[in-house]
């Protein structure tokens, strides 16, 4: 059985449409490839109460993993850890390990410029204020550490919003964690294109392919118009064994190809 993940993205810039949420897509793709099922993505504002509500609701659905992005930095509107703490009924407190990571970063920045080490101002110490009993995760690219909180049913990971930092922490730490916990299943997929059949005519054929190929999920994505159709058909399966998965996908494509031919259409690859 595949494990579930929920993603919570924090940031006003996402809610005013200033920033495209590439973080959610990237994490969803990585998590899916690791065999997880992403059940929900939630985007909320830089507001402690909004964040706390979203985290509390998501924890109530008991995903094995929850990843948050954004809101870990030094400015007043970086509020994710306060929100997480509130959802968990914990306090935030300066975490010694996190503070050490941050101090070493600023020492390195100063060395890089040949300048005197900068002061650990309130804004910088803020990045070390973690929910109690949380763990700091090294940030190989930026300053603010990631954060991990192990709860009864869920491992919660808070990542920065800057994509390069988010990705670096995910690759360095989250991937191996997920591999430890999940059963090593993988996600396999294939896309073919159907021409000459309207989506509404294709619908019952897809139903039949899904009924006959248990475990294979088939979804159509119209690329042309209903009147001049070119439809991407995306087939996918989560399985422990790559060979078995690919055999099942192949059989499903062959059946679909036959059914599409019967109604005067054809299948094109790529």
Residue 133 vs 266, nearer CB to its own copies? 266
Residue 90 vs 104, nearer CB to its own copies? 104
Do 69 and 10 form a contact (C-beta atoms < 8 A)? Answer: yes
Q: How far is the CB of 126 from its own copies (least distance, A)?
A: 8
As a whole number of angstroms, the distance between CA 228 and CA 265 comes to 12
Q: Which helix (H) or strand (E) holds 6?
A: strand 4-10
209: tokens are 């392919």
Neighbours of 242 (CB within 10 A): 10
As a whole number of angstroms, the distance between CA 137 and CA 26 comes to 19
Residue 116 vs 122, nearer CB to its own copies? 122
Residue 27 vs 178, nearer CB to its own copies? 27
Q: Which residues make Cβ contacts (< 8 Å) with residue 135, sequence separation at least 6? A: 97, 147, 148, 149, 150
CA-based torsion, 92, 99, 139, 106: positive or negative: positive
Q: How far is the CB of 203 from its own copies (least distance, A)?
A: 4
Q: How far is the CB of 1 from its own copies (least distance, A)?
A: 16
Largest CA distance in the chain: 76
Q: How far is the CB of 77 from its own copies (least distance, A)?
A: 6
Q: How far is the CB of 199 from its own copies (least distance, A)?
A: 6
Q: Which strands make up the sheet holding 230-239, listed edge to edge?
A: 217-222, 230-239, 186-195, 266-269
Residue 143 vs 213, nearer CB to its own copies? 143
Do 163 and 23 form a contact (C-beta atoms < 8 A)? Answer: yes
Q: Which helix (H) or strand (E) holds 218?
A: strand 217-222
Residue 56 vs 90, nearer CB to its own copies? 56
Residue 141 vs 177, nearer CB to its own copies? 141
As a whole number of angstroms, the distance between CA 208 and CA 143 comes to 52
Q: How far is the CB of 67 from its own copies (least distance, A)?
A: 13
Q: How far is the CB of 107 from its own copies (least distance, A)?
A: 11
Q: What are the φ/ψ torsions at residue 219 (nearest 5 degrees)?
A: -140, 135
């Amino acid at each position: 059985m595949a494990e579930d993940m929920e993603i919570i993205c924090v940031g006003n810039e996402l809610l005013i449409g200033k920033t495209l949420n590439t973080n959610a897509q990237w994490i969803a793709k990585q998590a899916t490839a690791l065999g997880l099922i992403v059940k929900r993505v939630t985007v909320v504002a830089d507001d402690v109460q909004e964040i706390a509500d979203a985290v509390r609701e998501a924890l109530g659905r008991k995903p094995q993993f929850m990843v948050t992005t954004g809101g870990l930095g030094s400015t007043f509107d970086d509020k994710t850890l306060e929100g997480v703490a509130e959802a968990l009924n914990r306090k935030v407190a300066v975490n010694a390990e996190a503070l050490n990571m941050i101090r070493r970063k600023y020492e390195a920045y100063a060395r890089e410029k040949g300048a005197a080490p900068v002061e650990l101002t309130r804004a910088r110490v803020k990045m070390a204020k973690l929910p109690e009993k949380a763990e700091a995760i090294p940030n190989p690219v930026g300053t603010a550490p990631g954060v991990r909180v192990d709860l009864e049913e869920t491992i919660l990971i808070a990542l920065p919003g800057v994509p390069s930092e988010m990705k670096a922490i995910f690759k360095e730490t989250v991937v191996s964690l997920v591999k430890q916990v999940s059963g090593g299943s993988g996600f396999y997929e294939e896309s073919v294109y159907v021409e000459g059949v309207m989506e509404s005519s294709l619908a019952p054929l897809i139903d039949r392919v899904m009924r006959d190929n248990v475990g294979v999920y088939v979804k159509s994505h119209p690329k042309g118009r209903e009147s001049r159709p070119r439809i991407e058909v995306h087939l996918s399966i989560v399985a422990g064994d790559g060979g078995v998965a690919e055999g099942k996908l192949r059989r499903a494509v062959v059946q679909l190809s036959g059914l599409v031919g019967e109604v005067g259409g054809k299948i094109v690859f790529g």
